[in-house]
């Protein structure tokens, strides 16, 4: 629980107001660029007195996170990853104070779990049940895992370049994958338009407060871990120690933006004596930030056709995120550097052979950048360097997913359109993109009414249905509400709990069957109670009967599909 209400401050007009997860624009000027603020004096006192006794996970910093109830019940153990010392690499680079933040050791193996843990918790607290995200892979995987636990249906828009293994990993959590044959930036526009058409919440990356705030926990953990693990570091007598450098492979730039804010807060509270330099590493074939930096520009020109095999890093248009990082690097030091795919693959093999760290190519980009910056003398031997090592993906079992785990949007490519797009700003969706989207946005989904007085039971059923297919899910918490909904606009199927206070399942069923408008609706009665022979006979005449223990069985899925097909 935050000790004082979190404030949102508009980065454009300075207007400040109480934070709410679903308020995405400044009420005064309409800007989407908001920043969280806290009562730092209060937090400093608390942390000095209490932090030592808290478990080492990201919720130990809850006073500076925009989530009310911590740790949230949906947490999977995000954060609290080890800070490893370099071993052979340290010797090869003559860099004695090299540390590796091992984010592979988090629930879905990348630092996107921090983002998912905080963002999904904040959205769940605000009652959200459906969410859209565009991703180059790892965000979709992390969000899928946490959304499954939160009973939030997730739509993940992925470019078709994302490796099949990653797409299947997203799908296995029950997320609706939409595979977009286009660049990542175009996939993002399609997702935005899809969310707008359906009135759904879409994740806005660096413009979302919970998302930026989640990445701060990397800075907090690193500083605390260095204090314990690196006693020889210079630190000016303050409580914690900051590194001289934080290195990360960058796509949209969210990670370093959040990390920079974390260090700024620690500096402001008097915990650390310096602001680390940022080493921002991009893949050569998609390095808009590096190009802009080399030209001394505060704005990056978009790269419409990224040319890298490392899809995780394929953001061609970083927008304002680059400018925020540019400002930081100008003020506190650091640099932007590009490495080729070949350099990244070599670093990947080397890190596995020499350090026992098997990582995905995107993480290897950061290490290739480290090697380059040390060779160039930009990083000095006495400096303390932390590299974010992330994203280790296992191949997953493809055969359990069946056929229909992705939807396909094809954006028609014509020569003129290509050329128009090279010069057009990337803000507005192109016509071809919208036409492509219409193939998935127009269906009418079967409506299923869940009737149960027990909220966790409803959430479980909702989640099962969300992962099963496309249904419009209605919920009633008692029998009267159920009858009202059923009579106003009869659903295609009702899943009915038997034991409820007030009007119980038997009475609801009797009433449904005696009204012509609702008599035909198929009903599945679910119960935890053992029924008498007589009760069973009575129910079986009017409904399908299932025991609550059977919820996760294939039989339950089959039953729902069968009843819906019959009702057509
Ligand atoms: C997301 C991701 C990146 C890029 O991070 P941003 O901060 O969003 O630019 C780099 N490496 C890995 C492994 C990632 O998952
Ligand atoms: Zn404003």
On the question of pLDDT at 555 being above 80, the answer is no
Query: Poorest-confidence range of 32-46, 133-147, 526-540?
Result: 526-540
What does the pLDDT read at residue 416?
Answer: 61
Contacts of 55 (CB under 8 A, 6+ apart): 80
- Catalogue the long-range contacts made by 373-379 (C-beta closer than 8 Å, 24 or more residues apart): 373/247, 373/279, 373/335, 373/337, 374/93, 374/94, 374/95, 378/335, 379/95, 379/245, 379/279
On the question of pLDDT at 400 being above 50, the answer is no
Query: Poorest-confidence range of 52-66, 72-86, 344-358?
Result: 344-358
CA 195 to ligand 1 center in whole angstroms:
23
CA 208 to ligand 2 center in whole angstroms:
15
CA 29 to ligand 2 center in whole angstroms:
4
Q: Give the number of whichever ligand sits closest to the CA of residue 389.
A: 1
State the average pLDDT over residues 230-235.
73
CATH number of 447-567: 3.40.50.2300
Q: 9-33 pLDDT, tens per residue?
A: 999 999 999 999 999 999 999 999 9
Q: List pocket residues of ligand 1, CB cut-off 6 Å.
A: 110, 112, 138, 249-255, 312, 360, 362-363, 390-391
On the question of pLDDT at 495 being above 70, the answer is yes
Report which ligand 1 atom has the smallest distance to the Cα of 138: 15
Nearest CA to ligand 1 atom 3: 250
Q: Give the number of whichever ligand sits closest to the CA of residue 33.
A: 2
Cβ-in-10-Å burial (0-12, 13-18, 19+) of 264 comes to middle
Average pLDDT of the chain to the nearest whole number: 90
Q: Give the number of whichever ligand sits closest to the CA of residue 102.
A: 1
Architecture of domain 81-104+214-389: 3-Layer(aba) Sandwich (3.40)
Q: Is the backbone peptide bond immediately before 78 cis, with ω within 30 degrees of 0?
A: no
Q: What gap in Å lies between CA 242 and CA 220, rounded to an integer?
A: 9
Choosing from 159, 219, 313, 365 the residue with most ligand 1 atoms within 8 A of its CB, the one to mutate for a pocket test is 313
- Beta carbons of 533 and 492 less than 8 angstroms apart: no
DSSP 158-170: EETTS-HHHHHHH
On the question of pLDDT at 1 being above 50, the answer is no
What does the pLDDT read at residue 332?
Answer: 98
State the average pLDDT over residues 256-270.
98
What does the pLDDT read at residue 398?
Answer: 41
Length of the chain: 568
pLDDT band at 341 (very low <50, low <70, confident <90, very high): very high
Higher confidence at residue 93 or residue 175? 175
Choosing from 113, 134, 252, 255 the residue with most ligand 1 atoms within 8 A of its CB, the one to mutate for a pocket test is 255
**DSSP letter at 43?**
H
Nearest CA to ligand 1 atom 7: 255
State the average pLDDT over residues 369-385.
96
Other beta carbons within 10 Å of 153: 24
What does the pLDDT read at residue 541?
Answer: 87
Q: 276-297 pLDDT, tens per residue?
A: 999 999 999 999 999 999 999 9
CA 549 to ligand 1 center in whole angstroms:
40
What does the pLDDT read at residue 546?
Answer: 83
Give the angle 287-390-385 at the CA atoms, nearest 5°: 80
CA distances from 358 to 222, 251, 387, 392 (A): 21, 21, 14, 7
What residues does 176 pair with on adjacent strands? 155
pLDDT band at 552 (very low <50, low <70, confident <90, very high): low
Report which ligand 1 atom has the smallest distance to the Cα of 256: 7
Residues of each domain in the chain carrying CATH 3.40.50.2300: 447-567
Q: 293-339 pLDDT, tens per residue?
A: 999 999 999 999 999 989 899 999 999 999 999 999 999 999 999 99
Q: 407-432 pLDDT, tens per residue?
A: 777 787 766 655 655 555 555 666 77
On the question of pLDDT at 524 being above 90, the answer is yes
Report which ligand 1 atom has the smallest distance to the Cα of 206: 8
pLDDT band at 91 (very low <50, low <70, confident <90, very high): confident
Residues of each domain in the chain carrying CATH 3.40.50.1100: 81-104+214-389
Question: Which helix H or strand E contains 282, and what residues bound it?
Answer: strand 277-283
On the question of pLDDT at 397 being above 80, the answer is no
Does residue 306 sit in helix, strand or coil?
coil
Percentage above 90 pLDDT, the chain:
71
């Amino acid at each position: 629980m935050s000790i004082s209400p979190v404030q949102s401050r508009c980065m454009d007009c300075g207007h400040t107001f109480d934070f709410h997860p679903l308020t995405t624009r400044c009420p005064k000027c309409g800007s989407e660029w908001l920043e969280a603020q806290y009562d730092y004096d209060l937090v400093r006192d608390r942390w000095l007195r209490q932090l030592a006794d808290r478990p080492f996970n990201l919720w130990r910093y809850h006073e500076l996170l925009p989530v009310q109830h911590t740790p949230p019940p949906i947490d999977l153990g995000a954060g609290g990853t080890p800070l490893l010392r370099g071993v052979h690499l340290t010797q090869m680079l003559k860099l004695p104070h090299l540390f590796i933040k091992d984010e592979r050791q988090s629930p879905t193996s990348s630092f996107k779990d921090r983002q998912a843990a905080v963002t999904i918790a904040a959205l769940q607290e605000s009652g959200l049940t459906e969410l859209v995200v565009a991703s180059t892979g790892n965000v979709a995987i992390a969000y899928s895992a946490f959304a499954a636990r939160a009973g939030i249906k997730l739509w993940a828009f992925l470019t078709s370049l994302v490796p099949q293994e990653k797409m299947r990993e997203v799908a296995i959590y029950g997320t609706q994958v939409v595979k977009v044959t286009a660049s990542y930036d175009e996939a993002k526009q399609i997702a935005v338009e899809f969310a707008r058409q359906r009135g759904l919440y879409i994740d806005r990356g660096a413009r979302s407060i919970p998302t930026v705030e989640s990445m701060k926990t990397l800075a907090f953990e690193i500083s605390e871990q260095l204090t314990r693990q690196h006693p020889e570091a210079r630190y000016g007598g303050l409580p914690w120690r900051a590194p001289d450098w934080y290195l990360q492979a960058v796509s949209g730039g969210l990670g370093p933006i959040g990390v920079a804010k974390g260090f700024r807060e620690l500096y402001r509270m008097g915990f650390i004596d310096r602001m680390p330099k940022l080493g921002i590493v991009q893949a050569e074939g998609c390095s808009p930030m590096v190009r802009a930096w080399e030209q001394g520009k505060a704005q990056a020109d978009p790269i419409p056709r990224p040319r890298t095999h490392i899809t995780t890093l394929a953001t061609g248009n970083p927008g304002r995120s680059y400018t925020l990082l540019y400002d930081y690097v100008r003020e506190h030091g650091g640099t932007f550097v590009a490495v080729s795919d070949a350099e990244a693959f070599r670093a990947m093999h080397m890190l596995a052979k020499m350090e026992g760290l098997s990582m995905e190519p995107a993480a290897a980009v950061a290490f290739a950048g480290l090697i380059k910056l040390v060779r160039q003398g930009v990083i000095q031997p006495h400096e303390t360097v932390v590299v974010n090592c992330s994203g280790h993906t296992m191949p997953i079992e493809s055969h359990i997913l069946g056929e229909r785990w992705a939807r396909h949007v094809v954006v028609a490519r014509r020569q003129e359109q290509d050329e128009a797009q090279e010069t057009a700003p990337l803000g507005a969706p192109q016509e071809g993109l919208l036409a492509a989207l219409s193939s998935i946005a127009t269906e009418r989904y079967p409506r299923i009414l869940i009737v149960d007085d027990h909220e966790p039971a409803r959430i479980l059923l909702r989640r099962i249905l969300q992962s099963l297919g496309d249904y419009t899910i209605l919920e009633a918490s008692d029998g009267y509400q159920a009858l009202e909904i059923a009579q106003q606009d009869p659903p295609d199927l009702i899943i009915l709990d038997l034991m409820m206070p007030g009007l119980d399942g038997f009475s609801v069923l009797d009433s449904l069957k005696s009204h012509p408008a609702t008599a035909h609706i198929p009903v599945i009665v679910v119960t935890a109670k053992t029924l008498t022979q007589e009760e069973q006979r009575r129910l079986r005449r009017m409904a399908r009967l299932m025991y609550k223990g059977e919820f996760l069985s294939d039989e339950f899925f089959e039953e729902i599909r069968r009843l819906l097909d019959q009702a057509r």
